[in-house]
Amino acid sequence: MERNKMGMLTFVASEAVFFALLIAAYIFYHRRGGEGPTAANSLDLVKTSIFTVALLSSSVTMHFAVHSAKAKKSRGVGVWLFATIVLGAIFLIGQGTEYLGLIREHVTISRNLFGTTFFTLTGFHGFHVAIGLVMLLILLGLAMNPRGLHPDSPAVEVISIYWHFVDVVWIAVFSVVYLWAFV
Amino acid sequence: MSEASQSHATITSLADIKEYRGLLSWVASIDHKQIGIMYVVSAYFFLFVGVVEALIMRLQLIRPNNHLISPETYDQLFTMHGTTMVFLMAMPLLFGFSVYLVPLMIGARDMAFPRLNALGFWLYFFGALMLYFSFMAGGAPAAGWFGYAPLTEKSYSFDHGIDYWALSLLVMGAGSVATGINLIVTVLTLRAPGMTLRRLPLFVWMVFINGILVVLAMPPLNAALVMILADRLLNTHFFTPATGGSALMWQNYFWMFGHPEVYILVLPAFGVISEVIPVFSRKVMYGYGLMATSTVAIAFLSFGVWLHHMFATGLGFAILYLFAASSMLIAVPTGIKIFNWIATMWGGTIRFSTPMLFATAFLIQFTIGGLSGITFAAIPLDWQLTDSYFVVAHIHYVLLGGTVFAMIAGTYYWFPKVTGRMMSERVGRWNFWLLVIGFNGTFAVLHILGVLGMPRRVYTYPDVPYFGLLHAISTYFAFVLVLGLLVFVANMIWSLLRGKVAGDDPWDAWTLEWATSSPPPPENFERVRTIHGRRPLWDLKHAAVAPAATKEGR
């Protein structure tokens, strides 16, 4: 296996353990919050579902970017990377408005255990999306530069591994935090 | 021999390598050898710092009702001593050996990600400085090296010590993960042609498995540290029972890291012993396959034993039995290793050079530490002995008598390769006997103190029978131990300046690092031939007479 790919996969394995433990903490504390806001009475399932669709679609566009890179179509790489970045940004903006709404309702990280675990878990995920966006922007910059990234560079593939990982984590987080709350 | 040698005739010391001249060449280095040396030097520096902290504690404990230092200072000292020895001394010492030796042993030019390698070192270095900065920022952490919540919460530890502690461990943890990834990928992708996984030197095997442990075991610590930092800085409720939080949560997450961590601290030491014992017994390693598989078994089981650190917390019996069983089980692969080392020595032509002396002491002392460790898997014994000096004795037998002794063996063994100079054998013997007597004198009596009921982490004790006497014995021997360490450091410095020129292969060893010059040139090898067995250098030296060597390790 190509060494950069292997390095990223190993890193993703490490990150997976980190998120698994944050999710475990969320589940463990779910019923211990006591009085106050809970997932069921403060979260907006519909709104978040829309932003979730944006993030999940970004995995598809990312896949096409890798596909174009393998086919040495540098124009395609640029277009698909741009689409991925836009979708990722929509997700982050969605998360930002959600946070803003919660904080206006005085649902903060220090309010109770729901706030504590919710903001820690989704915050770390959002942070990872942001890091992913930075990496994608660098890739886009290289792809736009005619003398820059060679379109079949494995860099696109390596960063796609990270991006898909962030997506998969969100599927787990969304299931546990949002869907479970309304069951 | 001329066939095997790739010696640059002009290189006999580090000063002969022009790429290594000047401070900038070290600070800006991405050469795995320079980074390895910086790791090891920093680790030995922090060993000295940790020993001074321990010595002050021993002086405080020399007689009952002593008031040399205040209880607050004592708490800071044992916290800093533990944190220093685990994160600032042992891990970087092992990483230093790993990043220095792995590329050489597998015939590579450098690590898979040389810049990541440098990042790993500097994260460690500045993380370590951040931890010690806490002394100037209003007080060092004082909650023990495993920082149990809720003691680490703001309401009980108000000053910034714990913040510095958690932040510096996070920074160093990130560095460790980076180095772990680097080691895994290096071993999997950069092996010389012909070096299959079944021909890998055992040290590389152990380091490889260790990389996997680091990558998977650091995240629980990082998660726990993030949570305690959030509790302290953002007023969250993870570990505050009053608002529904759980103090046990910290213990679970910490020991999910903590128990694999003890194997992280010992696996590379096993690797060193597995290199030293065959070379100085003049026999191939007995049970190579079992050595590698038992390492995998240890790594696997080490994730399923953490609860034995928490037997006294009132968990249900079903889960206690489960973890008692798994904790006893993990002794089996470790026992296999001990027997394999002994079987390798058995009937060999043993040369008791200093590395072999330390390796032999390792075998005995680590076995004692392993046996005292198994007692904690037995639940009633654990209830009696937990948090007593018996635990202190146990951890020092495995980590000081085990890991550090093995790494000193490794230092004597590879010092000629790294510096081009032999360490003095005569001083080495003094070094050895002072350390063996000092170490066992200091820590053997602590077993008895623990059984008599002396709790750990208290700054003084009443004048009850034997306590004063046993503590005094321990303290006096601690000075012998420190003298031994000083002789060790003196031997390194003296040998670096005045030691005998080593040559490429002073021990008549078998692994690839001895095929190049001492110290190796920046590019390591001019060329690496196809590897045909587990002892590539032996094959090269005896190419004409022993084609049969190729049968090995197929």
Residue B506 lies in a domain: yes
C-beta separation of B425 from B25 below 8 A: no
- In the three-class reduction of DSSP (H, G, I as helix; E, B as strand; rest coil), residue B421 is classed as strand
Min Cα separation B373/chain A (Å): 28
Test the B interface: residue of A8, A9, A10 with most B CBs within 10 Å: A10
Q: Are both B219 and B356 inside the same structural domain?
A: yes
Residue B554 lies in a domain: no
Q: Are both B22 and B43 inside the same structural domain?
A: no
Q: Are both B345 and B252 inside the same structural domain?
A: yes
Q: Domains in chain A, start-ordered, CATH in brackets?
A: 3-31+42-182 (1.20.120.80)
Q: What is chain B's Cα-based Rg? A: 23
Dig out the tokens for B423 from the structure: 């360490």
Residue B337 lies in a domain: yes
**Region A156-180 average pLDDT:** 95
- What is the interface pTM, i.e. ipTM, of the complex? 0.94
- Which secondary-structure segment (H or E) carries B277? helix B247-281
Q: Are both B410 and B317 inside the same structural domain?
A: yes
Of B113, B219, B227, the CB nearest to A25: B227
Q: Distance (Å, rounded) from C-alpha B173 to C-alpha B356?
A: 33
Residues of A in contact with B190 (CB under 8 A): 3
Question: What is the chain B residue with the closest CA to A17?
Answer: B219
Q: Are both B304 and B407 inside the same structural domain?
A: yes
Dig out the tokens for B145 from the structure: 């090296």
Considering its fold, how many domains does chain B have in total? 2
> Which residue, among A177, A180, A163, A176, has the nearest Cα to A55 in the 3D structure?
A163
State the DSSP string of A33-52: --SS--HHHH--HHHHHHHH
Q: Are both B20 and B60 inside the same structural domain?
A: no
Is there a contact between B244 and A109 if contact means CB atoms under 8 Å apart? no
Q: Distance (Å, rounded) from C-alpha A111 to C-alpha A39?
A: 13
Question: What is the chain B residue with the closest CA to A6?
Answer: B185
| Beta-ladder partners of B455 | B388
Q: Are both B22 and B159 inside the same structural domain?
A: no
**Region A145-149 average pLDDT:** 70
The pLDDT score that the predictor gives to residue B1 is 37
Residues 97-136 of A with CB under 8 A from B: 109-110, 112-113, 115-117, 120, 124
Is there a contact between A112 and B244 if contact means CB atoms under 8 Å apart? yes
Q: Does A35 touch chain B (CB under 8 A)?
A: no
Question: B127 lies in which domain range?
Answer: 31-549
Residues of B in contact with A11 (CB under 8 A): 177, 181, 215
Confidence band of A183 (pLDDT split at 50, 70, 90): low
Q: Are both B284 and B348 inside the same structural domain?
A: yes
Test the A interface: residue of B243, B256, B302 with most A CBs within 10 Å: B243
End-to-end CA distance of chain B: 25
Min Cα separation A127/chain B (Å): 14
pTM of full prediction above 0.90: yes
Is there a contact between B185 and A3 if contact means CB atoms under 8 Å apart? yes
Residues of A in contact with B234 (CB under 8 A): 109-110
State the DSSP string of B422-471: PPPHHHHHHHHHHHHHHHHHHHHHHHHHHHHT-BSS-S-----TTHHHHH
The pLDDT score that the predictor gives to residue A31 is 80
Dihedral sign from CA coordinates of A62, A67, A71, A76: negative
Q: Distance (Å, rounded) from C-alpha A96 to C-alpha A116?
A: 17
Residue at token pair 């309010």: A111
Question: What is the chain A residue with the closest CA to B111?
Answer: A3
Is there a contact between B223 and A25 if contact means CB atoms under 8 Å apart? yes
- Cα angle, residue B48 at apex, residues B46 and B54 outer, rounded to 5°: 105
Residues 140-169 of A with CB under 8 A from B: none
Min Cα separation A33/chain B (Å): 6
For B231, counting Cβ atoms within 10 Å of its Cβ (0-12 exposed, 13-18 middle, 19+ buried), the class is buried
Test the B interface: residue of A1, A6, A17 with most B CBs within 10 Å: A17
C-beta separation of B479 from B472 below 8 A: no
Of all residues in chain A, what percent carry a pLDDT higher than 70? Answer: 97
C-beta separation of A48 from A178 below 8 A: yes
Q: What is the 3-state secondary structure (H, E, C) of B114-156?
A: HHHHHHHHHHHHHHHHHHHHCCCCCCCCCCCCCCCCCCCCCCC
CA dihedral B374, B345, B437, B417 (to 10 degrees): -110
Q: Distance (Å, rounded) from C-alpha B143 to C-alpha B50?
A: 16
Q: Are both B16 and B77 inside the same structural domain?
A: no
Residue B247 lies in a domain: yes
No. of helices (H) and no. of strands (E), chain A: 6, 0
C-beta separation of B381 from B302 below 8 A: no
CA A15 to the chain's CA centroid: 13
Of A3, A15, A28, the CB nearest to B112: A3
Question: What is the chain A residue with the closest CA to B235?
Answer: A110
**Region A96-108 average pLDDT:** 95
Is there a contact between B189 and A21 if contact means CB atoms under 8 Å apart? no
Mean pLDDT per block of 10 residues along chain B (554 residues) reads 48 88 93 97 97 97 95 96 97 97 96 97 97 92 93 91 96 97 97 94 97 97 97 95 92 96 96 97 94 94 92 89 93 95 95 96 96 92 94 97 97 96 96 98 97 95 95 97 97 95 93 93 90 86 58 44
Buried b (16+ CB within 10 A) or exposed e, B164-183: bbbbbbbbbbbbbbbbbbbb
Count of CB contacts below 8 A, A vs B? 89
Q: Are both B470 and B491 inside the same structural domain?
A: yes
Residue B300 lies in a domain: yes
Residue B151 lies in a domain: yes
Q: Are both B47 and B17 inside the same structural domain?
A: no
The pLDDT score that the predictor gives to residue B438 is 97
CATH number at residue B480: 1.20.210.10
State the DSSP string of B74-90: HHHHHHHHHHIIIIIII
Q: Are both B69 and B23 inside the same structural domain?
A: no
